Amino acid sequence: MIRVRVVDDHALVREGLALILAAQPDIDVLGAHPDGPELLAALDAATDVVLLDLYLPGMDGIEVLHRIRQQNGPKVVMLTTIGRAPEIRRALAAGASGFVLKDSTGTELAAAVRAAHEGVTAMSPGVAATLRTPTAEGVTPREREVLLLLGRGLSNRDIATELGLAERTVKVHVGNLLAKLQVDSRTQAALLANDILGNPARLGPSR
């Protein structure tokens, strides 16, 4: 059972999200909170995932996310009405496990919670499109393999084991990928993996 807390300052939205998630057979909603301080006061080791509104009165969602990460707390999926690339990048850099738009379906919402719980970056299609890099020139065959494994959520150590490489070599490949994909973090690269690898033309010619 995945134990979830929901945070949104609008009662109707908060209660609606809680009802949608509680209807899932594998999700248990532990609480629905109107702001960050109430969530942080209630947060405990039983919580697996927090669905957190980006815009909250007083302590905004990014600050709440920072507090949760400082406490080595649960995975956090950010929630917002409008996905703007700078805000999405800020949330991901702060340690968010995903980003979901409020116009997502109940199925998409539940899938995002499950993905975050499993350690996979959860992202609405609309959010992924906002971050998407149109082309990535010069990605090598080996870098394609590394990117595929990044998209599956593997660490550098796990990628090294999978491909039979030294971990420092994987680190170099990841650094090259970040530069070629024009992103700032491995999380952002992972978000692009399925889209890019599903459309080889986006990668440009292999070298």
In the chain, CATH 1.10.10.10 sits at 141-203
Q: Token pair 């702060």 is at which residue?
A: 94
User: In the prediction, which pLDDT does 101 show?
Assistant: 85
In the chain, CATH 3.40.50.2300 sits at 2-129
**Separation CA 41–CA 58 (nearest Å):** 15
User: In the prediction, which pLDDT does 87 show?
Assistant: 76
User: In the prediction, which pLDDT does 136 show?
Assistant: 59
**Separation CA 2–CA 148 (nearest Å):** 27
141-203: CATH, from 1.10.287.3510, 2.60.40.420, 1.10.10.10, 3.40.50.10860 = 1.10.10.10
Does the domain at 2-129 match CATH 3.40.50.2300? Answer given as yes
95, burial (CB in 10 Å: exposed 0-12, middle 13-18, buried 19+):
middle
Q: What is the pLDDT of residues 21-60, one digit of tens each?
A: 999 999 999 999 999 999 999 999 999 999 999 989 889 9
Integer angstrom CA distances of residue 103 from 24, 53, 81, 99, 176 = 18, 13, 7, 12, 35
Q: What is the pLDDT of residues 152-194, one digit of tens each?
A: 889 999 999 999 999 999 999 999 988 887 777 787 777 777 6
At 152, is the secondary structure helix, strand, or coil? coil
